[in-house]
Amino acid sequence: MTVPSLSCSIIILHLKHFRTLFPLKERKRTIMKTVLLIVLFFFFQNFKTSSSIHHKYDAIYNFGDSLSDTGNFLLSGALAFPVIGKLPYGETFFRHATGRCSDGRLIIDYIAEAFGLPHLPPYLDIVREKKHVKTGVSFAVSGATALDTQFFYAQGLGPLVWTNDSLSVQLGWFKKFKSSLCSTKQECDEYFKKSLFLVGEIGGNDYNYPFFVGGSIKQAQALAPLVVGAITKATSMLIEEGAMDVMVPGNLPIGCSAVYLTIFGPTSNQSDYDPRTGCLKAYNAFARYHNQQLKRSLQMQRLKYPHARITYADYYGAAMRLYHTPKRYGFKEGTLKACCGGGGPYNFNNSARCGHTGSRACSNPSAYVNWDGIHLTDAAYGHISKGLIYGRFTSPPLTSLLGN
């Protein structure tokens, strides 16, 4: 950010000659006014830079699970969790259910808005309605895993799996869809230079399914290389298909999730909990473990594809701010309790989950971080997104992509 040269010249000229123009008392008053004007000028220049960004991308393509599904799960049948297709889901921003697992927008929605792009439609709607869309699509499906679902069926976890539309299935959808975007390699290369690809968040469900039936953290750590490998393999495939900018998010702090706090607590051992936040330390430590493995793998990807830009998005760090200093971000209610649920210490009851009989939604979701015990609120996703877009939670910084 620089002050225009004309403004600089005027300020310098003013400071150079004002001594001869005004008496001492008047000079002091003039100095104070001048300093105030300079401070205000810089403030508004910075505000303008922070609140609007240069248009960098023409399209966004997203892969993942319920953290970025804009409706594919509903369109696929949604047999496991159909309640996301009705209020109170979607009540805050859209005023109706959209198939998003929140009261409003998701992180992907905020990113699209930041680039001046429309919210991403779900791929299955594009196919069903035979729409022609070139501003981006979400291939994400709630409940999706990074590993193919056959892996979980082989482990006896099939009944828990929400969907068979894993990451590899979503990549297959993209390959089919690609032909509607461009026809020649040159055309595709030019188009994808102006497109952002998000691979995730994905992988959380790969751990959720075994955790929820008693799997240990040690077992999850053994699974992590497979999960991370699937994510980085997807990144490679997209780059080889022409992607130039790929953002790969890590996992959120699952130890702060109402579902984890309910299933694995409360415990009488206070050392299990972070004294500052009340989150389960061991599960947050595991989320950090996964994220560290993912970051190392992405660094290897950068060496393999030096022509591409591979960005790691620190969802964990961006989210933890909300638990450390909730009131700073406007969260006045207990940050660990779900806004919508069926009771219990964290307002999560598996027999009366949000949208089911026996549950109810709070009157002010923006005062809560957690929406339904598993997913976050529109307000929480908004603050996380700002940390990613304008803050320090992307590596390399996402703001350098925005023209700032």
Q: How high is the pLDDT of residue 259?
A: 98
pLDDT digits (tens, 9 = 90+) for 212-269: 999 999 999 999 999 999 999 999 999 999 999 999 999 999 999 999 999 998 888 9
Q: Give which of 329, 314, 341, 315 is closest to 369, Cα–Cα.
A: 329
Only one residue has tokens 């959120």, namely: 252
Identify the pLDDT of residue 54: 52
Residue type, 241: E
**Residues acting as catalytic residues:** 66, 372, 375
Nearest by Cα to 105 from 90, 120, 118: 90
Assess whether pLDDT exceeds 80 at residue 403.
Answer: no
pLDDT value for 21 = 44
| pLDDT at 72 exceeding the cut of 70 | yes
Q: Give the Cα separation of 157 and 153 in Å (integer).
A: 5
Q: Identify the residue with better confidence: 336 or 26.
A: 336
DSSP code, position 345: T
What pLDDT, on the 0 to 100 scale, is given for residue 248?
Answer: 98
Q: What is the pTM of this model?
A: 0.86
Reported as a single tens digit per residue, the pLDDT across 177-201 is: 999 999 999 999 999 999 999 999 9
Q: What is the pLDDT of residue 26?
A: 56
pLDDT exceeds cutoff 80 at 56: yes
The answer to which of 20-29, 33-42, 51-60, 168-177 has the lowest mean pLDDT is 33-42
Q: Tell me what the mean pLDDT of segment 136-165 comes to.
A: 96
Q: Give tens-digit pLDDT for 308-329.
A: 999 999 999 999 999 999 999 9
Domains of the chain: 59-401 (3.40.50.1110)
Distances, alpha carbon 9 to alpha carbons 39, 44, 86, in Å? 17, 19, 60
| Structure confidence at residue 23 (pLDDT) | 56
Q: In the sheet that 59-63 helps form, which strands lie side by side, from edge to edge? A: 136-138, 59-63, 195-199, 245-249, 309-313, 394-395
Mean predicted lDDT score pLDDT of the chain: 88
